[in-house]
Structure 1
């Protein structure tokens, strides 16, 4: 009985620690994507509200934005977007927006041979909050 009582709190703590972070596995049309580089975080008034990640797979680069539960569950609507930045310029052709969507994937770009970043935004209160990952060449 003691072992069960000790294990249960540990399981609950690990489940709580996992909430709110991106759990992306693969881009919509590409089952073999893998994250490249470090995750970036979008903040609003010092609080993290979303994660931005860059992936590669199927011969393309992909941006991914995940709005954390703590922000998405607040009253009101929000919008989010994901886009690639290629050679220092935002690729608007890769941009995908979502209204009240917690996870948004950009369109894949043929940019594996170029320097790229993933770019993500969240807005809805009159302000735009954004972040981008480190550059990968």
Structure 2
């Protein structure tokens, strides 16, 4: 087999691998915890009629974590944005260990780990900055997990 034919065969075999991996986004893990499992549903944060981000809740290392991922479609059509995420308890009235993307245009944000495994929790994401969503901030919550 010629050298060119070998290269073509290798390239042809590689295409399915690249195509299969292209649409899959893999989340990192939170600081200080290398293994987490998603619990509950994924919520979608919509801003101005466009999906900005996915919001998920994870458990691992004895804690709950909220995770927010800003979609590529939103990033490609906006020059700047803010986002925060948190675990919420008490029927959605108490924030636990929230984290905001203060470095500008965050792509993914993990909340700090909340010691709330014995409580009913949700993950909350919003498109602002601060300790709590302002009245004009868009928000999204996952389902309640007990």
Tell me if TM exceeds 0.5.
yes
TM alignment of 1:73-84, pairs within 5 A:
73-84=76-87
Structure 1: 5+ residue runs without aligned partners?
A: none
- 1:50 counterpart = 2:56: no
Q: Is 2:62 the partner of 1:32? A: no
| Corresponding residue of 2:92 | 89
Show the counterpart of 2:64: 61
- Answer 1 or 2: which has greater helix percent: 2
Note if 1:117 corresponds to 2:122.
Answer: yes
Cα shift readout 1:72-123 (whole Å, capped 9, x = no counterpart): 2334311111101113134434111113111111111111011000000124
Instruction: Compute the RMSD of aligned alpha carbons.
Output: 2.6
1:34-54 deviation digits (Å, cap 9, x = unpaired): 111111111124432100000
Unaligned runs of 5+ in 2: 1-7, 130-135
TM-score (norm 2): 0.74
**TM-score normalised by structure 1 residue count:** 0.79
More strand by share: 1
Report how many aligned residue pairs link the two structures: 131
Of 91, 99, 106, which residue of structure 2 is paired with 1:101? 106
Q: Is contact 2:92–2:122 with CA below 8 Å preserved after alignment?
A: no
